[in-house]
Structure 1
Amino acid sequence: MHGELAARIEREGFALLPEAVPDAGVEALLARLSTLSPGTEPRRRGGTRQLFEAVPEAREYARSGAMRAAAEAVLGPGCFAVRALLFDKTPEANWKVIWHQDLTIAVRERHPVEGFGPWSEKAGIPHVQPPTGLLERMVAVRLHLDDCGAENGPVRVLPGSHRAGRLGPDAIAAWRERTAPVDCLVPRGGLLVMRPLLLHASSPATAPAHRRVLHLEYAAESLPEGLEWYERW
């Protein structure tokens, strides 16, 4: 599976792995998430940040099991999780996401390092856009905690766009004109594995219900010149 998955990610920028996590594991994680205080529940597109702190079970998913195996298949055994997010589309939080690439990483402290910038802050955590090469060596693994069909506002991707580097508005428009989007329909317990630079978007759900997703980002290298990943599991 490792070689096939790595080849698919290299070629397409994404892969779907249905039935990766047993239902009992999904239920256990949902039970733990239900105990979060209202202040840490997912609200809008940012979802819940600092999830490794709020939900220790997320660390176990990062370190072992299907999510870890998928990351290792792409990045090798030395990889580690650097960010965890929880997303949930509901009737009260049913947002649209325009076509974009994921361009920022979370770090411990802000340090001026050549090639890193611009800087921003999200939920009190410093974020920065790293060099494109670093993003090309990362992967995101998304565990779906609910079935995600066409009516649930699934992630849509443009296959192969991860190989084009960082894209401006005109380049994104060109990719949209010449590439047929793919809807990532993922059953409960399934994984979506994708490169951060893959162009992706999503529409509001037409039949809003829970669409809970545990999103883990993995890297396999330390940051330069005093920069540190905000989390490393």
Structure 2
Amino acid sequence: MNELKIYKSEIEELGFTTIENIYSTEEVQKIIETINQVDTSKDTFRKSNDLFAIRQFLKKVPETQKLIFNEKLQKVISELFGKNYFVIKSIYFDKPETSNWYVSYHQDLTISVDKKIELDNFKFWTTKQNQFAVQPPIEILENIYTIRIHLDDTDENNGALKVIEKSHLKKIYRPENIDWKTEKETTCNVNKGGIMIMKPLTLHSSSRTTNNKKRRVIHIELSDTNLPNGLNWSEKLN
């Protein structure tokens, strides 16, 4: 319990934390085997030399839900976030051993919703593969937690996230305005079976792979907030 309090404090103060040993080696292997059996021809799947991704992962591969939400993860969610949190988005990323794919510093400023409705302070609408995304009011973003489940050992050599500590406290923080003289950058190394938890307003980036090791991650976002005026989360799962 004391450890969970420390993790919660780190998330609120720094914008992120890492927790090891949420999944055993056997549990990780079962998740990987389940993913490997999936039909990859669907339009929510993206495949290239640099990346294999499954959008709406928990809906498209529902067999993984019980494996992912084991007793340990459920305890983390209820103790760190609260008992009313639900899934609003999920993506599976497979970064191959030879991937040159990298992501520069950014905040996660959009949410996935079921339709487009003109609402005050909901802006920058986009549509991709019949999915609607929008930047909501800052209060909604501040209430989201992201969990990244690591299916491989991950460090700075195969795409572990780098983050700017406490950047989530600065609301919208443009990467071009980062003051490297005052900001602290941290690399979030996570062992297989561990998780990283992050606030979406935390500035984060990911480097190219240089050590010929895979990096498979399940990205899950959670909130306890219902959207206004008939707008709904596109992937809501309790």
TM-score (norm 2): 0.90
CA shift at 1:213, angstroms? 0.2
SS in 1 for 2:100: coil
2:190 maps to what in 1?
A: 186
2:136 to 120, 130, 139: 130
**Aligned-CA RMSD value:** 1.9
Mapping 1:1-233, distance limit 5 Å: 1=1, 2-39=4-41, 40=45, 43=48, 47-60=53-66, 63-91=69-97, 93-171=99-177, 173-174=178-179, 176-233=180-237
Helix, strand or coil at the partner of 1:232: coil
Structure with greater helix percent: 1
Aligned-pair CA distance for 1:23: 1.4
What's the offset of the Cα at 1:46? Answer: 8.0
Relative distance call for 1:61 and 1:68 in structure 2 (3 A) is farther
**Cα shift readout 1:114-143 (whole Å, capped 9, x = no counterpart):** 111110123320001111111111100011
Cα displacement (A) at 1:42: 5.0
| TM-score, structure 1 as length reference | 0.91
- Alpha-carbon deviation of 1:202? 1.0
Q: How far apart are 1:6 and its partner, in Å?
A: 1.6
Are residues 65 and 25 of structure 1, via their aligned partners in 2, closer, same or farther at CA, if it must alter by over 3 Å? same
Give me the whole-angstrom Cα distance separating, in 1, the residues matched to 2:126 and 2:72: 32
Check 1:199–1:91 CA distance in 2 against 1; reply closer, same or farther (3 A cut). same
* Cα distance in structure 2, aligned partners of 1:169 and 1:232: 30
Q: Is the 8 A contact 1:42 1:87 kept in 2?
A: no
CA distance in 1, matches of 2:155, 2:173: 29
Provide closer, same or farther for how the CA distance between residues 34 and 185 of structure 1 changes in structure 2, counting only shifts above 3 A: same
Letter in 2 for 1:152: N
| TM superposition shift of 1:61 | 5.2
Amino acid at match of 1:9: I
Alpha-carbon distance between aligned partners in 1 of 2:67 and 2:227, rounded to the nearest angstrom: 23
Report sequence identity in percent: 30
Q: For each residue in 1:190-218, what CA deviation from the matched residue of structure 2 results, as whole angstroms up to 9, or x when unmatched?
A: 00000000000011011232100011100
Structure number having the greater strand percentage: 2
Contact 1:42–1:88 (Cα < 8 Å) also in 2:
no
5+ residue gaps, structure 1: none
Amino acid in the other structure paired with 1:13? G
Which amino acid in 1 is paired with 2:63? Answer: E
The 2-side partners of 1:201 and 1:184 are apart by 11
Q: Distance in 1 between matches of 2:33 and 2:185?
A: 34
Cα offset for 1:55?
1.0
